Amino acid sequence: MGSHINHDQTMTFNKHVNVYWQETKYEWLKSIRNPAFALPAVTFPGLFYVFFGVLMNGYNPQAATYLLCTYGVFGVMGPALFSFGAGLAIERGQGWLDIKSASPMPGGAQVISRLFVSMGFSILILLSLGGLAASLTDISLTLSQVGVLSVILVLGGLPFCLLGLTLGLSLKAESAPVVINMVYLPMSFLSGLWIPIAMLPEFLQSFAEFLPPYHLSQLALKVVGLDAGGSVANHILILGLFSGIFYVFAVLASRKKAN
Amino acid sequence: MAQQNMIAFAKGLTKAFKGKSALSNVDLEICSGQVLAILGANGAGKTTLINILLGRLNHDSGDVSLFNAKAGSLEAKRLTGAMLQVANLPETLKIKEHIRLFQCYYPNPMPYEKVLAYAGLEKMQNRYSKKLSGGEKQRLLFALSICGNPKLLFLDEPSVGMDIESRQSMWQAIRDLKSTGTSIVLTTHYLQEADSLADEILLLKDGKVVKRGSSEAIKASVNHTTIRFCTDLDAAAFDGFDGVVSCAKSGKYIEVQTSNASQCLQGILAAYPNLEDVTVERAGLEEAFKQLS
């Protein structure tokens, strides 16, 4: 190693892509090996669904279909909020993100890798929910319904990833998991993900309009013809609006760090 | 120091946090193949200085440049490595996975085997970071800081929590890296570390550079000598002798700091011929450090 070898300090396109791939791969290994994250994320939606969606409904297929959609929404929100929110807050608190930010890692790799990992977990959750629904209920969905539903739910995790990102950049490591649960669980309930929105009191039903999970669940329910009748464009617009707001918050939160 | 080999500098660096000065008018140059140690008490501004050099913190006024680029720019980051103080690292990745990931961030990473050898991690590649001791974590962080074949390496308190053996082997690694032309900036509380590694020492106090020079020069600037002996007498008995700066009793021993060793020692021995175990020692870096900061 001579001291004056003039190494080429540029990255080829392939090396750039490789950074994103490696970051995603190790983010996935890190998450799937962490039982405190992976276990509740993958099993809770299934357990809740079996209890509320199947057993409590006396195996009613329509209720089981309805709740399959809403527990799907509940499921994809979990890894989005926790991987971004809690995961990031903890690594930030440890000082680990300082090491990463001092390295030439592109800032986007951190976000993109977590996005893919959340989506990977979403797929695992949807597979487990689908498996439970197929074996325990008399739900009948066409293949295209299953496909469209999966795409909606996996992509629908995006606004929650951005919300998680904002929380992860602003919360302290110790309080992050608690605060995220306090956002996640009430928001799920109030959006009608646990029990159908129509069974909630009137004033709560109108409040749900202001919550992003409600709109995602309406999109999912549209696929099986059980939605409340709002327009698709409207739901997508509102989800997009929330994504935009959370994105701006996330950018502001990350700027605040580097003062 | 040869000016043409200067790879980074800071000039007139000033930084305040909420009106409270953290650094004022700090100048420094880093030359290739040089080890620069930044010494100072807690709160002296060491970490602030490193963070500004890394571009992780904005400064209020002054100039900073690394490799003719802006601190914190991508060009600077690709030529720089940083070992910062970290409470913990992601626990569910193995040592080899951490290293492989960091290697891919750089255009010309250091070969994997070489990283392991420098950091002394050959035997624990498959260990999860959860199972590492404090010193082993430091070694992993050191490995990550050199993954990119840095031309300039920042080490913030590198040997914290290390046992003597790992500390020695890390010092050797630092010397080896230096001999390949890598410049190293290290902050430390551990004076022996600065003494045995640094070509130049920068002593910070309250955000100002109070002393700058080689370890020898700094020691020489403190022309004190310590006379140490065993006695039952009180320390106060020795205050009046030639050139005495301070007297202190620790256990059975008394330590007298004097600026005039021979006169002082003659006087003490004439007055108390029965002292036992008398030693005379020139001030080390530690005394210099105490006096200057």
Q: What does the pLDDT read at residue A191?
A: 95
Of B220 and B278, the one with more pLDDT: B278
Q: What does the pLDDT read at residue A4?
A: 43
Confidence band of B293 (pLDDT split at 50, 70, 90) = low
- For residues B287 and B255, the answer to whether their CB atoms sit within 8 Å is no
Confidence band of A255 (pLDDT split at 50, 70, 90) = confident
Q: What does the pLDDT read at residue A180?
A: 95
- For residues A74 and A194, the answer to whether their CB atoms sit within 8 Å is yes
**Minimal C-alpha gap between B70 and chain A (Å):** 13
Q: A167-203, pLDDT tens digit by residue? A: 999 999 999 999 999 999 999 999 999 988 888 888 8
Sign of the Cα torsion B158, B160, B164, B165 reads negative
Q: What does the pLDDT read at residue B240?
A: 85
Confidence band of A5 (pLDDT split at 50, 70, 90) = very low
Mean pLDDT, residues A60-73 taken together: 92
What's the DSSP call for residue A54?
I
A179's CB contacts (< 8 A; 6+ apart) are A167, A171
CB contact under 8 A, B149 and A29: no
B100: left (phi over 0), alpha (psi -120 to 50) or beta: alpha
Global pTM?
Answer: 0.85
Confidence band of B43 (pLDDT split at 50, 70, 90) = confident
Give the DSSP letter string of chain B: --GGGEEEEEEEEEEEETTEEEEEEEEEEEETT-EEEEE--TTSSHHHHHHHHTTSS--SEEEEEETTB-TTSHHHHHTEEEE---S---TTSBHHHHHHHHHTTSSSPPPHHHHHHHHT-GGGTT-BGGG--HHHHHHHHHHHHHTT--SEEEEESTTTT--HHHHHHHHHHHHHHHHTT-EEEEEES-HHHHHHH-SEEEEEETTEEEEEE-HHHHHHHS--EEEEEE-SS-GGGGTTSTTEEEEEEETTEEEEEES-HHHHHHHHHHH-TT-EEEEEEE--HHHHHHHH-
Mean pLDDT, residues B220-227 taken together: 78
Task: Look at residue A236 and tell me whether its pLDDT is greater than 60.
Answer: yes
Mean pLDDT, residues A249-256 taken together: 85
Which residues in chain A are contacts of B102 at CB distance < 8 A?
103
- For residues B90 and B126, the answer to whether their CB atoms sit within 8 Å is no
- In angstroms, the CA B107 to CA B29 distance is 26
CB contact under 8 A, A95 and B148: no
B1 touches chain A (CB under 8 A): no
Q: A37-63, pLDDT tens digit by residue? A: 999 999 999 999 999 888 887 778 889
List % helix, strand, coil for chain A (3-state, nearest 5): 80, 0, 20
Mean pLDDT, residues B177-185 taken together: 95
Q: A99-116, pLDDT tens digit by residue? A: 999 999 998 898 999 999
The answer to whether ipTM exceeds 0.90 is no
Nearest to A26 among B89, B101, B182 (CB): B101
Residue type, A211: L
Q: What does the pLDDT read at residue B285?
A: 73
What's the DSSP call for residue A227?
S
The two three-digit tokens of residue B43, written as one number: 């709160």
Of A36 and B112, the one with more pLDDT: B112
CB atoms within 10 A of CB B271: 12
Q: What percent of chain B has pLDDT over 70?
A: 98
Range with the lowest mean pLDDT among B133-147, B152-166, B269-283?
B269-283
Q: Which of B101, B110, B154, B184 to mutate to test the interface with A (most CBs of A within 10 A)?
A: B101
CB contact under 8 A, B108 and A9: yes
Highest mean pLDDT out of A133-137, B115-119, B206-210: B115-119
* Residue A52 CB burial class (10 angstroms; 0-12, 13-18, ≥19): middle
Mean pLDDT, residues A250-255 taken together: 85
Q: What does the pLDDT read at residue B82?
A: 95
Q: What percent of chain A has pLDDT over 70?
A: 96
CB atoms within 10 A of CB A30: 22
**Minimal C-alpha gap between B199 and chain A (Å):** 18
Task: Look at residue A7 and tell me whether its pLDDT is greater than 60.
Answer: no
CB contact under 8 A, B100 and A101: no
- For residues A149 and A72, the answer to whether their CB atoms sit within 8 Å is yes
Mean pLDDT, residues B128-146 taken together: 93
Nearest to A99 among B74, B82, B92 (CB): B82
- For residues A98 and B141, the answer to whether their CB atoms sit within 8 Å is no
The two three-digit tokens of residue A191, written as one number: 């959006």
Nearest to A103 among B75, B97, B102 (CB): B102
- In angstroms, the CA B92 to CA A30 distance is 5
Output the average pLDDT for chain B: 89
Q: What does the pLDDT read at residue A168?
A: 93
Range with the lowest mean pLDDT among A93-97, A125-129, B190-194?
B190-194
Q: Please give the span between the terminal C-alpha atoms of chain B, in angstroms, as a whole number.
A: 25
Chain pair A-B, CB pairs under 8 angstroms: 95
- Alpha carbon of B19 to those of A87, B12, B14, B23, B57: distances in Å? 34, 18, 12, 11, 16
Q: Which residue of A has its CA nearest to B33?
A: A3
The two three-digit tokens of residue A15, written as one number: 């090396």
Confidence band of B274 (pLDDT split at 50, 70, 90) = confident
Q: Which of A18, A21, A26, A114 to mutate to test the interface with B (most CBs of B within 10 A)?
A: A26
Tell me the three state secondary structure of residue A137.
coil
Which residues in chain B are contacts of A1 at CB distance < 8 A?
149, 180-181
Interfacial residues of A (vs B; Cβ cutoff 8 Å): 1-4, 7-11, 15, 18-19, 22-23, 26, 29-31, 33-34, 91, 93-96, 98-99, 101-105, 258-259
Range with the lowest mean pLDDT among A121-125, A249-253, B91-95, B101-105?
A249-253
Mean pLDDT, residues B137-150 taken together: 95
CB contact under 8 A, B181 and A4: yes
**Minimal C-alpha gap between B31 and chain A (Å):** 12
- In angstroms, the CA A184 to CA A160 distance is 10
Nearest to B86 among A18, A23, A96 (CB): A96
Q: Which residue of A has its CA nearest to B176?
A: A1
Confidence band of A258 (pLDDT split at 50, 70, 90) = low
Mean pLDDT, residues B253-261 taken together: 86
Give the DSSP letter string of A61-94: HHHHHHHHHHHHHHHHHHHHHIIIIIIHHHHHHH
Q: Which residue of B has its CA nearest to A103?
A: B77
State the angle between helix axes of A13-32 and B95-103 in degrees (0 to 180), rounded to the nearest 10: 160
CB contact under 8 A, B87 and A29: no
Q: What does the pLDDT read at residue B262?
A: 86
**Minimal C-alpha gap between B198 and chain A (Å):** 19
